[in-house]
């Protein structure tokens, strides 16, 4: 057998094998969607983002150790979150920082924060120093933040703590109805 004939036979065999492999790889396989719904649509580690308003003003920065999104439930699961919120008040820039061990969020509905929650302002003339809690629920539709767990609110000349926190952001009210404790310190005039 000549080299040319041998090369032709090997080439034809390779084309046939390639066609078989191509055909097998293009066959559709039925994937059980019930198995896939248990997995997130995406997972991001060391997630960082910036959110700007329509005028280009930096509205928020967000970072997390891990963020996952489950499309079927429209839920975000986030671990080790840190959020900086920026606002302009009387031409002054104000910034608030929020940290939490984890949270679950449903867009345009709620954010459920858990574990070592800390909220504090990053500007000098704030009457508030820090809010700490182990659990906070933020209803985005009602603009209410609630907690059944103990919450501490510390300011320049006061300390408040208690259970059953209810903050109404529309009315700008804070109510602690469970075992409230308040300490106010005199200020020099």
Per-residue pLDDT tens digits for 77-132: 999 999 888 888 787 888 889 999 999 999 889 999 999 999 998 888 888 899 99
Condensed to tens digits (0 to 9), the pLDDT of residues 90-99 reads 878 888 899 9
> Which CATH number applies to 39-184?
2.60.450.10
Residue 131: strand, helix, or coil: strand
CB-based contact 51:57 (threshold 8 Å): no
Domain range summary for the chain, segments of one domain joined by +? 39-184
φ, ψ of residue 143 to 5 degrees: the values are 60, 45
Predicted structure pTM score: 0.72
For residue 1, is pLDDT > 60? no
- CA pair distance 167, 113, nearest whole angstrom: 15
Through-space distance between the first and last CA atoms of the chain, rounded to whole angstroms: 110
């Amino acid at each position: 057998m000549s080299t040319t004939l041998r090369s032709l036979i090997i080439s034809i065999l390779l084309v046939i094998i390639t066609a078989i492999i191509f055909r097998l790889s293009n066959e559709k396989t039925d994937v059980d969607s019930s198995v896939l719904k248990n997995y997130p649509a995406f997972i991001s580690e060391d997630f960082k983002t910036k959110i700007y308003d329509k005028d280009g003003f930096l509205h928020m920065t967000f970072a997390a150790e891990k963020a996952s999104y489950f499309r079927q439930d429209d839920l975000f699961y986030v671990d080790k979150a840190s959020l900086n919120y920026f606002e302009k008040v009387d031409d002054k820039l104000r910034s608030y920082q929020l940290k939490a061990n984890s949270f679950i969020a449903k867009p345009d509905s709620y954010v459920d924060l858990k574990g070592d929650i800390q909220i504090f302002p990053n500007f000098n003339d704030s009457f508030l120093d820090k809010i700490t809690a182990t659990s906070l629920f933020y209803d985005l539709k009602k603009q209410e933040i609630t907690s059944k767990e103990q919450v501490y609110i510390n300011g320049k000349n006061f300390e408040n703590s208690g259970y059953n926190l209810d903050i109404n952001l529309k009315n700008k009210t804070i109510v602690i109805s469970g075992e409230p404790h308040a300490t106010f310190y005199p200020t020099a005039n």
